[in-house]
Amino acid sequence: MNIWITGASTGIGLALARHYALAGHCVVLSARSLDTLTAAVASLPPGTSHAVPLDVTDEAAVMAAVEDIEARYGPLDLAVLNAGTYAPVRAASFTSAAARQMMEVNYFGICHGLAALIPRFMSRGRGQIAAMASVAGYCGLPYAGTYSASKSAVVRLCESLAPELTAAGVQLSVVNPGFVATPLTAKNDFPMPFLIGPEDAAQRIAEGLASGRFEVRFPRRLAWLLSLIAALPYPLYFALTKRMLRPA
């Protein structure tokens, strides 16, 4: 298979690239930093992987990257739109600029990828796209507002697009991981329940995508817990989330 992964220089993206490269697939890695991306490709089995630097917030650049990748390596079979960012936000320091930046990367970055890929995949009647979201998108938790909002937007978008794409022979999936040990989660200053490593996450994602499921989510206990919290009546919901507040 020809596979394209964005946000592939570290964390889940790099682990997923390694998983597919070791399985013998042609993997194209994209990320903003050329130096980090070059080092990532060098860490993978020789001849299996290729670097295409890219800022996913630049729609024209994303369009050009997809065209370049397919011209050089052939039609894509799988694209994993994984690039994302995270920063905790407290109410006292909330700004619309921070919210906009989060949406530009986590949501519009995926929109740009979808806009470049969907016409190509639909015209061929095949292909698979995975959009990285998060179980944090299930509900709004303290300090994760802008991040949760961006990930929830990804899920709602994919839910809306999936029926048409399925009818056209294109598989669309959302990936909703819990806490994974990456440079992004290293920003957290609280214990992260059910924390797993990026290699474990990559294995679960690859298995989930191979199964053709719309939603790939893990770990199950955390996903079920947050689903339950999201279903609570608001008085109970806020009684619980207030307990998550920490001193400034």
What are the extents of the domains in the chain? 2-244
Q: Is the pLDDT of residue 154 over 90?
A: yes
The pLDDT assigned to 191 comes to 84
Q: Is the pLDDT of residue 127 over 90?
A: yes
Q: Find out whether 52 and 28 touch, Cβ atoms under 8 Å.
A: yes
- The pairing of strands 2-6 and 171-177 is unpaired
The pLDDT assigned to 188 comes to 80
- Given CATH 1.10.8.60, say whether it is the number of domain 2-244: no
The pLDDT assigned to 35 comes to 94
The pLDDT assigned to 48 comes to 92
Strand-pairing partners, residue 5, are 29, 80
Q: Is the pLDDT of residue 221 over 90?
A: yes
Catalytic residues: 147
Distances (CA, A) of 173 to 139, 158, 184, 220: 20, 7, 22, 17
Q: Helices 96-106 & 145-167, crossing angle to 10 degrees?
A: 30
Question: CA-CA distance, 197 to 10, in Å (whole number)?
Answer: 12
Report, as an integer, the average pLDDT of 211-240: 96
The pLDDT assigned to 182 comes to 87
Question: CA-CA distance, 89 to 70, in Å (whole number)?
Answer: 39
**Would you place residue 114 in the very low, low, confident or very high pLDDT band (cuts 50, 70, 90)?**
very high
Global pTM? 0.95
The DSSP output letter for 170 is -
